[in-house]
């Protein structure tokens, strides 16, 4: 009986999947979970991350991150803007950041060692938010659905978080929310992130300086959290070319009064 119910659930999940196209024209296979379920999973993953901590109590750091996130969110589609976005700053030295469905953004204090201006921090945050708006979490989960993993994941969707954690290391590990995306997803997040930051009034050329800082800090390679990117020098070339194209967008944003003053 139980196996029959699971089989029916699996069929329902697979039938719901569909092919769509991202804003950059890339074909995506998505739909294994609903947006509501994605938001619930994002909230659970964010709660777990905050519980693990430690969280920064520095009011200035938290306000700084919040300011950058707010400016970028204003460039999102109406449905995404309507979300009550939440931020958290973690007292961790690794230069890392993430964004999750449901409007959750986390930043490690270590990112401030490589993102040395508000524009560079915007490049990081816009990249991570790009993953959310381009449905990369949905895409990743849909691709991971199958066999035993699907059974565990369906249990998570039913609210059985405790059992899932005991069986496989927690929601975050199972859903893959905080794991690196594919190379195609990372490249797409670069493209979308640079567009978002320029539209918000942040200088898109800062993404180039950010990458140069990360490479210098990593001894010639970017941090582990960006390990799925193509060769760093190739990435810098692409960021530079795209920045030239986006400077007019940035200038128009500034002229329209979008001049973030976050720190």
169: left (phi over 0), alpha (psi -120 to 50) or beta: left
Active site residue 128: yes
Residue 189 CA to residue 134 CA, distance in Å, equals: 8
Q: Name residues whose C-beta falls within 8 Å of residue 205's C-beta, 6 or more positions apart in sequence.
A: 119, 240, 243, 247
Residue 193 CA to residue 246 CA, distance in Å, equals: 11
Residue 89 CA to residue 66 CA, distance in Å, equals: 9
Distances (CA, A) of 221 to 70, 144, 193, 214: 30, 28, 21, 8
Catalytic residue among 36, 48, 86, 128: 128
Residue 89 CA to residue 72 CA, distance in Å, equals: 17
| 183-199 vs 232-255: helix crossing angle, rounded to 10 | 20
Residues annotated as part of the active site: 128
């Amino acid at each position: 009986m139980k196996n029959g119910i699971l089989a029916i659930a699996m069929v329902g999940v697979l039938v719901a999947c569909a092919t769509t196209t991202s804003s950059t024209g890339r074909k995506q296979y998505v739909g294994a979970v609903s947006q509501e379920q994605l938001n619930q999973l994002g909230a659970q993953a964010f709660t777990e991350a905050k519980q693990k901590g430690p969280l920064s109590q520095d009011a200035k750091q938290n306000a700084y991150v919040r300011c950058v996130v707010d400016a970028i969110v204003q460039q999102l589609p109406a449905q995404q803007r309507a979300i009550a976005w939440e931020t958290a700053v973690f007292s961790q030295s690794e230069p890392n950041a993430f964004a999750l469905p449901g409007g959750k953004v986390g930043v490690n204090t270590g990112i401030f060692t490589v993102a040395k201006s508000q524009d560079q921090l915007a490049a990081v945050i816009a990249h991570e938010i790009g993953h959310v708006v381009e449905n990369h979490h949905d895409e990743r989960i849909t691709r991971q659905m199958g066999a035993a993993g699907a059974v565990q994941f369906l249990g998570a969707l039913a609210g059985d978080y405790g059992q899932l954690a005991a069986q496989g290391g927690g929601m975050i590990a199972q859903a893959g929310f905080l794991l690196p995306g594919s190379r195609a997803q990372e490249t797409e997040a670069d493209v979308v992130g640079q567009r978002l930051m320029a539209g918000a009034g942040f200088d898109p050329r800062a993404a180039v300086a950010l990458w140069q800082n990360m490479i210098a800090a990593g001894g010639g390679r970017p941090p582990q959290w960006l390990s799925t990117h193509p060769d760093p020098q190739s990435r810098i070339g692409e960021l530079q070319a795209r920045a030239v194209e986006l400077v007019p967008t940035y200038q128009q944003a500034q002229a329209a009064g979008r001049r973030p003053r976050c720190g």
